[in-house]
Structure 1
Amino acid sequence: MEYRKWMEYLSTSAGQDLLAQLYGSGHAAGALERYGQLMQRHVQRTGAPEIRLFSASGRTEVSGNHTDHNHGLVLAAGVTVDTLAVVSPRADRKINVVSEGFPEAFEISLDALEIDEKAFGTTQAILRGIARNLCDRGFTLGGFDATVASSVPVGSGLSSSAAFEVLIVEIMNQLFCSGKIDGIARAQIGQYAENVYFGKPSGLMDQMACSLASMSLIDFEDPQKPKVERIAYDLEKAGYALVVVATGGDHADLTDAYAAIPQDMKAAANFMGKDFLRQVAVEDFMAAIPQMREKIGERPILRALHFFDENARVLRQAQALREGDVQTFLSLVIASGQSSWRLLQNCVVPGRLEQGLPLALALSERYLRPVGGAWRVHGGGFAGTIQAFVPLDEVEGYIAAMSEVFGPHSCTRLGVRNLGAMELKAEA
């Protein structure tokens, strides 16, 4: 559809309703301006008369901190920030992506999709990995131009990288695969590109949450066939807003700290004769603790205890949401955060004076406990972001208080998005 017709449609009540579903009520007007600017930019650089629109949300981990890599349970949600693309086909076999904030285009040829270790860590590697996986599934791809912009704050823990990956998969899915790639496969293809071509050994949770959106209970007992239950729940109708606070912590030199968590859990599982903690019975583990303490030390035991407790907690939180019991849900959010701090130990970096993450948690507890809110570490931990569930009438005050400490752009208010990675369609 032409740029002008897209703008006309997005200005109608149906178009405004679609934008409200993607970004929350009250944000449709700002979204329309954002779409208009990106479409104009794409048309100016490509001259394409017909354009298509695609969106993939960021994600938040609600519970299940560091459980997916041991085949555990996660409660995650797509949120009302996204990576957006304006797309048009090309006549050749090149994929050309221009992304807001980057001076040069990212371009690959579909005739050169081999793994290139020198390209690890690059956007081109992600594009090649996705294209290679789809070709291996038997699809014939073609070239396209994409102009991309993201409202997912970088460093917020909301998975801007996973949103980009599943967005690219969905573009190729709709242009060349007749929409045959479902939401789970879309996430797996994004993970494949990140693991094999980008060189980052990540789990599947980020891509799954961005691909599926909504509030989702995800069971990774079999990572090749994860089980997903989408839970319809309107947080704002229950009287709460979700706020993520970026503490400005430095992730440099934290690779070893992050890697030690799955390593410790694996050591505990291996002691029990298993590959992953999900395969270990809790009662057997508890009985083995005296011998385990002598052989592998205490930290792996504590982190394994977090895994077992967190898995059980995720199921209880999902049940609370099904029943509309927001108070039980919030109490379990707090318990999840306390477990991450005490047992998982991913809130403080030993030896560092910089401790923005625990400071944000401590300040949030002081502000939110008296008003019935909840708080926890968000994502990998050690540095970065926290997550807060804030009563609606306290949102402005909470954001003001946290912004005074962590800066004017540290807080992002979010809603849960119920539409997964998608191509936008204009209703007839």
Structure 2
Amino acid sequence: MMRSVSVWKQELADGTHTSRLAALYCCAPEQTPTQAARYAAVLDGLETTFGSHTEAGLYSAPGRTEIGGNHTDHQHGRVLAGSVNIDMIAAAAPNSLNQLRVQSEGYDLCVIDLSNLVARKEEENTTMALLRGECEAFRQRGAKLSGLDVYISSNVPKGSGVSSSAAFEVLIGVILNDCFMAEKVSPIAIAQIGQWAENVYFGKPCGLMDQMASSVGNIITIDFADPAHPAVEPVQVDFSKAGLALCILDSGADHADLTDEYAAIPSECRAVAAVCGGEVLRDVPFETFLAKLPECRKQCGDRAVLRAFHIYADNERVAKQVAALRADDFDTFLQLVTESGLSSWEYLQNVIPAGYKEHQEVAVTIAAAKHFLRGKGAVRVHGGGFAGTVQAFVPVEELAQFKEQMEAILGAGRCHVLSIRPEGGAVL
């Protein structure tokens, strides 16, 4: 929604948007000036980078936390996920150049000619690919695209496992939807557009969970049995009432060079499914998989078979986690989180990259967190794995000590205490 830049700045300064910001960032009203200043800063960044604009829109897309279902989404399984109170924000304003110009703080300027949105092989694995792909997806849905300048700022740590890439895709989707669609697409469609751009233009065979959690918001469970029409249900839960704090532990490992490790998981699972007569594991009954086990081992290898065991079990665990949360049975929920983490390490094998010896940061982070929690709470690898982050549910009374102990090992600022954000991609 475009409004006068001067009006935005005045309202941000005088507290007009306090209640909106308090809800988005899960904070007290007196804590919102910090967030208001972030939005004022992206308006300034827009002007500094692209020149003055009379009007602009303000937008937000949150990071996400995967709570259940590790790597189940790309096999059309179930997941449990939530949006969190760190985000990417943007100011966007029209230009007369028929170009999408995007400046993210700390990165190179990206410029897309809106008259040429064909996928380019040389752009794979670049931000340009994501932008071009999303523009094309919206064009196919009837968007009347025209020139737009976008300035982005983020407090979602890159490579942190809370999915800065999905937040970026959702943010761009929210902006294009608001600016160019006469009939707005749904948050689910925005997530699907982000995944399509990442799969087809960026060249990464990701699932849909990250984008969906960021776009839809709050805690949701998603069943991807029909990926074109995923079933999304809210799950009402307040971890603070259970005496639990949600922590995301940054292991310090970078996943930039691990694309092949990530791509191998869906590829191997699909290979197992193919032996059993399906496209993905969700197509294949577990009993059929067991009957075909010797053939799967011979054709796909044992790692692929072990990964399939994980997918089947974690898919069932999601349903049990949802039932436990809806019954306020947090002991069962925590036990299921622990089981999922063990399964990811032992069967899915996405904690230590193949052949790594000196660098096993995620494994060390898990070991230290389990030691300090002494059997309380729960710990598991978070998201794609191999690098990035670990998730921990920590008893509130032990949070301060746990944070201090973990940051003594990982470094200051690497234990993020997060809240579940009640809204996904947002137009301020």
TM-score by length of 1: 0.93
Partner of 1:120: 124
What SS does structure 2 have at the residue aligned with 1:320?
helix
1:48 maps to what in 2? 53
Aligned equivalent of 1:90: 95
Q: Cα distance 1:126–1:52, how it changes in 2: closer, same or farther (>3 A)?
A: same
Please name the residue that 2:17 is paired with.
15
Pair 1:59 & 2:64 matched: yes
Q: How does 1:6-405 map to 2 (within 5 A)?
A: 6-10=8-12, 15-26=17-28, 27-45=31-49, 46-102=51-107, 104-178=108-182, 180-251=184-255, 253-290=257-294, 292-293=296-297, 296-353=300-357, 354-370=359-375, 372-405=376-409
What RMSD, in angstroms, separates the aligned Cα atoms of the two structures?
Answer: 2.0
TM-score (norm 2): 0.93
1:200 aligned partner, one-letter code: K
Identical-residue share of aligned pairs (%):
45
What residue identity is the alignment partner of 2:339? A
SS of residue in 1 equivalent to 2:102: strand
Secondary structure of the structure 2 residue equivalent to 1:347: coil
- Kept in 2: contact 1:3–1:40 (CA 8 A): no
Q: Residues of 2 paired with 1:130 and 1:349: CA distance? A: 31
User: Which amino acid letter does the alignment assign opposite residue 8 of structure 2?
Assistant: W
Q: Distance in 1 between matches of 2:213 and 2:360?
A: 28
CA distance 1:292–1:96, shift in 2 (3 Å): closer
2-side partners of 1:361 and 1:406: how far apart? 11
Cα deviation 1:280-338 (Å, max 9, x = unaligned): 11223234435544554432222111111101100011112222222221111111101
Contact 2:129 2:201 in 1 (8 A): yes
C-alpha distance in 2, partners of 1:213/1:306?
Answer: 27
- Structure 1 counterpart SS, 2:241: coil
Contact 1:338 1:376 in 2 (8 A): yes
Deviation digits for residues 201-234 of structure 1 (CA, Å, limit 9, x no counterpart): 2221111111111111111112111111122222
Q: Cα distance, 1:12 vs. partner?
A: 6.1
Q: How many residues align?
A: 422
Please, which runs of 5 or more residues in structure 1 have no aligned partner?
none
Q: 1:3 to 1:61 in 2, by over 3 A?
A: same
User: Is 2:12–2:37's contact at 8 Å kept on the other side of the alignment?
Assistant: no
- Contact residue 43 and residue 49 of structure 1 kept, 8 A: no
Secondary structure of residue in 1 paired with 2:288: helix
In structure 2, the CA distance between the partners of 1:253 and 1:41, relative to structure 1 (3 Å rule), is closer
Letter of the 2:391 counterpart: Q
Quick one: distance in 2 between partners of 1:292 and 1:51? Answer: 56
Q: Distance in 2 between matches of 1:254 and 1:167?
A: 25
